[in-house]
A = this chain, B = another copy of it.
Amino acid sequence: MEGKNDKDFIATLRDHGLQVTYQRLAIYQALYYTKDHPSAEVIYQQVKKRFPMISLGTVYKTLEKFYEVGLIQKVSPITEVARYDAKMGTHHHLVCLACQSIQDVECVIGEPQITVPDKHGFQVVRQQVVLQGYCPACKPPDSDPT
């Protein structure tokens, strides 16, 4: 999270078979240096500060490409727009029902116990756990009338 320079980022992009442009660099860095799980729109706003001529379409295309080559993750919790995450590797998310913020959960669920019964015949490629609730900053509305 700290001492990475442009050269490292460029290498990372190249390693993933990507042509390097300053837009891609900016987008990846923006994503890399945040712990939020920003949407395309948010990333766009962020990157636009440095490169005002960048277009939203490019951000969409770029994020999708990053996702395709396995450079970033894509998170789409319940009822929401796509949110992205530069942190790779299996981890899960706490999604605040009030403010829509997303936090990572480091090590909460023991992977092994997720064993899909064979009768399903389902081949699991990846799993995603979404915990919905309220973050410290957001108190429950009054109490969930479920």
Report how many copies the assembly holds: 2
**B113 in contact with A123 (CB, 8 Å):** no
Q: Given that A128-B130, A134-B125 are contacting pairs, would A78 and B74 also be in contact in the complex, using a CB cutoff of 8 Å?
A: yes
Check B82–A74 contact: CB distance below 8 A: no
* CB-based contact B79/A146 at 8 Å: no
Category for how many chain A residues contact B: 35 or more
The smallest C-beta distance from A78 to any residue of chain B, in angstroms, reads 5
Least CB distance from A111 to B in Å reads 10
Interface residues of A (CB under 8 A from B): 70, 74-80, 82, 94, 96-97, 103, 105-106, 108-110, 113-117, 120-136, 140, 144, 146
Closest chain B residue, CB of each to CB of A79: B76
Given contacts A79-B76, A114-B131, A130-B130, contact A122 B103 (CB under 8 A): yes
Q: Return the 9 tightest CB-CB contacts between A and B, nearest first.
A: A121-B136, A124-B133, A125-B133, A76-B78, A127-B131, A123-B134, A123-B133, A128-B130, A94-B122
Q: Are B130 and A103 in contact (CB under 8 A)?
A: no
Closest B residue by C-beta to A68: B145
Contact status B122-A131, CB under 8 Å: yes
> How far apart are the CA atoms of A26 and B123 in the complex, in Å?
35
